[in-house]
Structure 1
Amino acid sequence: MIPFRTSAHAANSSPSVALEKGAYRMRAPYPRPPTKLLFSRSPVRNRRVDTLSTSQNLAMLVLLLALACLSCFGMAYYLFSTRWDARALSQQPSANQPHRQVVNIDFREQNSILPDPHERFLAYLPHSGFHNQRIALENALVLARLLNRTLLVPPVWLGNKPLRYLNFNALSQALALSDKDGLFHCSQIPSHIPSPMECTGYFDYTHISWDWLVDLSETKKVQHLRQRWNMTDAWITEHLRISEVDIWMIKDTSPYHYRILDTVTDTSPLSHKFLETLYLPDLATSTKRLIHFGTLFGSSRLRLKNSTNVAIRASIRQSMTFSNVILIDASYSIAKSMGHLYIGGHLRLGDGDFQRNGRDNARMLWWKLMHNVLHYTQEETADIERVVLNLSKTWDPPPLPIDETQNFTRPRLWKSQTQRLACRGTLHTRRDLRPLNIPLFISTDVDRPEHNPLLLRFYRTFPCVFHLSDFPKAMASLRELQNANDGVMLNDFLLPFLDAMVVAHAWMVVGTEKSTFSRFVEDVLWRMYHGMEIIQRG
């Protein structure tokens, strides 16, 4: 066999051959000469070109990343703003769901009109419950009328947790933040989807226009009003063209900081609760385009002595009676069901001092019904109280207030009384107790009043006690009302108004001491419904 031979060059270049020789060596291939470029360039120029190309690529990459970020944010915003569009399918009323009546409570038409540059305005900051807001509006309307200024009218805040009083700066900021702009999607979330954090408390309150609730048409004939739904300072600058230097801010630091008198010669008692006094003649000399008050609530805040001014306030206060057709129809239906000849009690027990003093308030109202309305003597009333409550001895009567309706001629209750509803208890047969068979409508702010022990004395005395909950058919129209502005259902917020209207239709009505709501029922609603002149306080 002829041996196989390799050349030295092949052995050096082949790893397999080298292994056969007992050594492992690998050699790099021989370098090749560099390929010549078609166009020769200097090394420095090449480096400049590479740097420029890299910068262009980085710039392009940054631009693409920026566009991608903007696209992502845009898509996220679109998804956020349209995320509840499925409500059209999930919220359509079915056959067994009540139809919702969406009502327009927003009257902002004139806000798009720029005011005359010489027009002067008056503004204030509303707070607290409805009737404190009502009193503040009455005072503001009177001040604007007497100062010949256009009143900026804020909406009514209706809710379970109203804004409490704060000093001027804090209240102004709180009102500015209470607007629901940017949150209207909260009312569109289907019930099977959890509400996002920003919607917490969204349904606890709503805003409605005063024009939807009361009739201000006569007031508008003699003075200018302008709706103010935005409580920010920016709104004043943008919509009224008023700069900060042209505003007189009357800033309060306590709820009873300022009172206003219409005559400088008024010698009012020095024991009043206000810290400072302002006079209408001084306010009238102001050349500022806007006088901005803080709180204006309080019946005694505006002290009027001039007879013309007193008459103006009377006409304004009369316009505060509820004029909403839905509420009027429902209240009349309930009153008709009780035969119209019934007595009423407006009993506040639900919160604050009224809850703490509930036992005394309930007893006082019961005594006023027995003694002031039905004319039982104090001895007879005390004896009936002893029997009703199973007392071992009679209690001393409470300090009854002076009856301010003595001049009202009362009919004989026990004559030809027609019962149209079934009573809770058994009718009295004793002649001296027959007046107690008259229907009694109790308007109250406690849940399930028939189970409240403070009302037990009423059920044991009057066999025919009724509450608003006894008339579900008449209240059906309220359950369908929905605010077109924010989508909030209005039923729970309107029930106290309906309750007050029904009790004000009563033959006689008594209220809770120190309650502005009860005062409104007794002084305004009840008297207007019975063709009497209202009582003015302050």
Structure 2
Amino acid sequence: MAHEKVNRTKFLFKIIFIIIIIITILSFSTEILFIPTSNNITTPITVLPPSFNSSEEKFLTYLPHSGFHNQHDAFINAIMLSYLTNRTLIMPPILTNYYPPWSTFHSLYNALNKSVIAKKYRKEHCYIKNDGNGENIDNFCDNNKYSKYDNFTMLNWDQLFDLSELKKHVKMVDRGYDFSLDNLISDFNVGENDTYLFIEDKRFEFEFFDNDNSTRQIHEDFEKKFLISDLIKIDKKLLHFASLFHINRIVLENQHNIEFRHLIHNTLIINNSKLLNIANGIIKKLGDKGNYIGLHIRIGDGIYIDEAEDNKILIFNELMNYLLESGLLRNSKKFFKYNLKECVSHNLPIIYLATDANDPRKNLYKFYKNIPCVFTLMDFSKDLENFGNIPSDFDEDTNLKSFYVPIVDLLVTAYGNFFIGTPKSTFSMAAVEINNLYHGKNALVALP
């Protein structure tokens, strides 16, 4: 009997040993699926990236600020840097209806975190009407200070853009609707002292170069050169930037890297169906894509107020030259009375003017006085009613329509046969890229 027990025990140990071996082999074969692979570009591409629990995965993130097009440019730079450093990009959300301006690292973090906290607190705790007096005077219920946060909301990038092609080359994950550094470190299992904060003391301090031996001069907006090769050497799990905005932030000379930048600009396209349907409806009324001229005149804020008159003259002259050279100038008085349908049916050159002017006919009088068939988004108010209510995932009570309408304006003006924009405007730069793609070119014809 004792002999039989010993044999049974040995048999059980053998079975357990075999099971352990099988599990080990299966685990090893699973890990093989996550080995980074590469193709014809220099930076390794992770096809099936590791999970957040992997000790080897490294992350890159940054802080958003300013208007949508500035955030868009920073997002593009973040994708490029993630690709160059072979890190997973933690995407902060798009800020809309309220956004802080640029600030230094910790100040910007505080402003972003305050936006989220104030928004939530006011919604959950404050009276509908509160003049700032009474028991809530010391908290976020002071309307004089904090009502600006009431319409603040956020959305993720893939709610607006098609990221599918870029995700084949760079792993991207959403940060979530939160701007706590402690929560970020916890959510992505970043160990203690395993974060590198890339802090700049000035707005445009460092310009990044992918060529260690580059002879190119630093752009006039920047003060110092920082090598991508030195970024790659940073061994911390989380590489955290503040602002990444500026079209000249990254200088590329490596051809493979230049090609990937083309890929970013060529494939990061708007794919929100509601936006596209409304924009396409307006475009068809204008005679369809390529059958009108698109303009963008920004005069309503910042430096554009001071430069408004110069920019209006510049754009008007360029438009008139184009019409004259193309034999499209029509100045018969009767044409100025035509509505859109009459302009289209008489095959007149149609001008679509995207602008932030409150009263285009008054503020841009010269265009209406000298050129017939000029239209703005205000002429398509019925089309915009099709938006209905568009809730935000962050706050279902906040309508995203006011955020989407300017993007419709962008899409419509960009799909003209010819486009003229406002110098230095990120809106105009985005329209140029869309127009280039429509004409079968690279979005960036001349790379910075």
Q: Distance in 2 between the 1:295 and 1:271 partners?
A: 17
Which residue does 2:35 correspond to in 1? Answer: none
Equivalent residue for 1:137, pick from 64, 75, 81: 75
Contact 2:218 2:225 in 1 (8 A): no
Match for residue 245 of structure 1 among 193, 214, 221: 193
Q: Which residue of 1 aligns with 2:389?
A: 480
The equivalent of 1:206 in structure 2 is 153
CA deviation digits over 1:117-160, x for unaligned, max 9?
A: 2210111111111111111111110110111100110000112x
Aligned to 2:123: 186
What residue number does 1:222 align with?
169
CA-based RMSD:
2.9
Instruction: Rate the CA distance shift 1:131–1:537 in 2: closer, same or farther, 3 A.
Output: farther
Whole-angstrom distance in 2 between the partners of 1:319 and 1:184 = 39
Distance 1:337 1:277, change over 3 A: same
Q: 2:177 aligned with 1:232, yes or no?
A: no
Map of 1:167 onto structure 2: 104
- Is 1:441 aligned to 2:352, yes or no? yes
Q: How far off is 1:448 after superposition?
A: 2.5
Q: Is the 8 A contact 2:206 2:224 kept in 1?
A: yes
Q: CA deviation at 1:237?
A: 2.6
| Structure 2 partner of 1:421 | 341
CA distance in 1, matches of 2:394, 2:229: 40
1:182 shift after superposition: 6.8
Deviations 1:422-454 (A, max 9, x none): 569xx9xxxxxx99x4111100012131232xx
CA contact (8 A) 1:176 1:231 kept: yes
Deviation at 1:239, TM superposition (A): 0.9
Q: Counterpart of 2:60 in 1: which secondary structure?
A: strand
Give the deviation of 1:243 after TM superposition: 3.2
Q: 1:463 to 1:187 in 2, by over 3 A?
A: farther
CA distance in 2 between counterparts of 1:271 and 1:219 reads: 28
- Report how far residue 177 of structure 1 moved: 1.8
Runs of 5+ unmatched residues, structure 2: 1-50, 131-140
Determine if contact 1:342/1:508 at 8 Å carries over to the other structure: yes
Change (3 A) 1:174 1:115: farther
The DSSP-based 3-state class of the residue aligned with 2:187 is helix
Name 2:142's counterpart in structure 1.
197
Contact 2:209–2:228 at 8 Å: present in 1 too?
A: yes
Q: In the alignment, is the contact (CA less than 8 A) between 1:214 and 1:319 conserved in 2?
A: no
Is it true that 1:262 corresponds to 2:210 in the alignment?
yes
Is the 8 Å Cα contact of residues 162 and 268 (structure 2) preserved in structure 1? yes
Equivalents in 2 of 1:253, 1:166: separation in Å? Answer: 9
Q: What is the CA distance between 1:186 and its match in structure 2?
A: 2.8
In the alignment, the residues of structure 1 paired with residue 125 and residue 278 of structure 2 have an alpha-carbon distance, to the nearest angstrom, of 29
Task: Report if aligned partners of 1:128, 1:163 keep a CA contact under 8 Å in 2.
Answer: yes
What letter corresponds to residue 206 of structure 2 in structure 1? Y
Q: How many residues were matched structurally?
A: 376
User: Which residue type is aligned with residue 61 of structure 2?
Assistant: A
**Alignment partners' CA distance in 2, 1:203 and 1:342:** 39
Percent identity, please. 30
Tell me the amino acid that sits aligned with residue 315 of structure 2.
L
Out of 370, 380, 385, the residue aligned to residue 471 of structure 1 is 380
1:170 Cα deviation from its structure 2 partner: 0.9
Matches within 5 A, 1:252-401: 252-269=200-217, 272-340=220-288, 341-372=291-322, 374-375=324-325
Greater C-alpha Rg: 1
Structure 1 residue 125 corresponds to structure 2 residue 63: yes
Q: Distance in 2 between matches of 1:276 and 1:197?
A: 43
Shift of 1:244: 4.4
1:342-373 C-alpha deviation (Å, 9 max, x unpaired): 11111111101111111111111111111145
What CA deviation, in whole Å up to 9, does each residue of 1:56-81 have, x standing for no partner? xxxxxxxxxxxxxxxxxxxxxxxxxx
| Contact 2:113–2:179 (CA under 8 A) maintained in structure 1 | yes
Contact (CA 8 Å) 1:443, 1:499: kept in 2 or not? yes
Matched letter for residue 301 of structure 1: R
Separation in structure 1 between the aligned mates of residue 119 and residue 282 of structure 2, nearest angstrom:
40
Specify every segment of 5 or more residues in structure 1 that has no aligned partner in the other structure, as ranges.
Answer: 1-112, 389-417, 428-433
1:498 aligns with 2:446: no
Structure 2 CA distance for partners of 1:267 and 1:244, relative to 1, 3 Å: farther
Distance 1:467 1:181 in 2: 36
Deviates more, 1:333-342 or 1:233-242: 233-242
Q: Structure 2 length as normaliser, TM-score?
A: 0.77
Encode CA deviations 1:497-525: one digit per residue, 9 max, x unaligned: 00010001111110001111101111x11
CA distance in 2: counterparts of 1:337 and 1:164, whole angstroms: 37
Q: Judge conservation of contact 1:215–1:320 (CA < 8 Å) in 2.
A: yes
Q: Per the alignment, in what secondary structure is the counterpart of residue 518 of structure 1?
A: helix
Q: Does 1:176 align with 2:113?
A: yes
Asked if structure 1 preserves the Cα contact closer than 8 Å seen for 2:62 and 2:240, the reply is yes
CA displacement, residues 201-224 of structure 1 (integer Å, 9 cap, x when unaligned) = 234432111101111011112221
Letter in 2 for 1:134: H
> Structure 2: how far apart are the matches of 1:274 and 1:325?
39
Aligned partners of 2:416 and 2:428: how far apart in 1? Answer: 14
Shift, 1:530, TM fit? 2.8
Report the 3-state secondary structure (helix = DSSP H, G, I; strand = E; otherwise coil) of the residue aligned with 1:474: helix
Q: Structure 1 residues 355-364 or 168-177, which shifts more?
A: 168-177
Query: CA 1:456/1:119 → structure 2, altered by over 3 Å: closer, same or farther?
Result: same
Whether the 8 Å contact between 1:124 and 1:292 is mirrored in structure 2 is: yes
